[in-house]
Amino acid sequence: MSQRTLVLLKPDAVRRGLVGEIIGRIERKAGWSIAAMELRTLDRATLEQHYAEHEGRPFYEPLVEFMASGPSVVMVVEGERVIEGIRALAGPTDPIAAAPGSVRGDFGTIVRENLIHASDSEESAQREMKIFFPSFS
């Protein structure tokens, strides 16, 4: 089933020069394509909306500050089972638990700065795409 999902390449991916590597991994997956992509520094209001479900948790404020610390690549990726597939490509949040071959397993260093965000469900993908690409979704 063809789907669309939101993918964010976080400020650490941009700072470390890993954008091309990560996008290349997405593009090499047969049947997936990038439907929309922008480089932008995310403002606090957008981040608060995106991470609203985490408000009040101890990691919320450091996460918002990190995500606003520099440019991110914001993308919509589409293709067969792309939501599940991008999450597998990203690997678990903790880079120590992430398998080699995944983005976080190969390049991750710490949990908070974990290179990539991918929507975790069709519902989340729809909600998140509306935040970052309101006219697209």
Residues annotated as catalytic are: 117
Count of Cβ atoms closer than 10 Å to residue 42 Cβ = 21
Q: How many Cβ atoms are within 10 Å of 115's Cβ, its own excluded?
A: 25
Tokens 């071959």: give the residue: 101
Bridge-based pairing of strands 116-118 and 72-80 is unpaired
5 carries a ligand binding annotation: no
Residue 104 known to bind ligand: yes
The answer to whether 93 is a known ligand-binding residue is: yes
* Distance, CA of 60 to chain centre: 16
> Does 87 belong to an annotated binding site?
yes
Residue 130 among known ligand-binding residues: no
Query: HSE on the CB side for 46, CA within 13 Å?
Result: 16
For 54: left if phi > 0, alpha if psi spans -120 to 50, otherwise beta; the answer is alpha
Alpha carbon distances (Å) from 36 to 50, 102, 129: 18, 23, 10
Residue 114 known to bind ligand:
yes
Could you tell me which residues are annotated as the binding site for ATP?
10, 59, 87, 93, 104, 114
Could you tell me which residues are annotated as the binding site?
10, 59, 87, 93, 104, 114
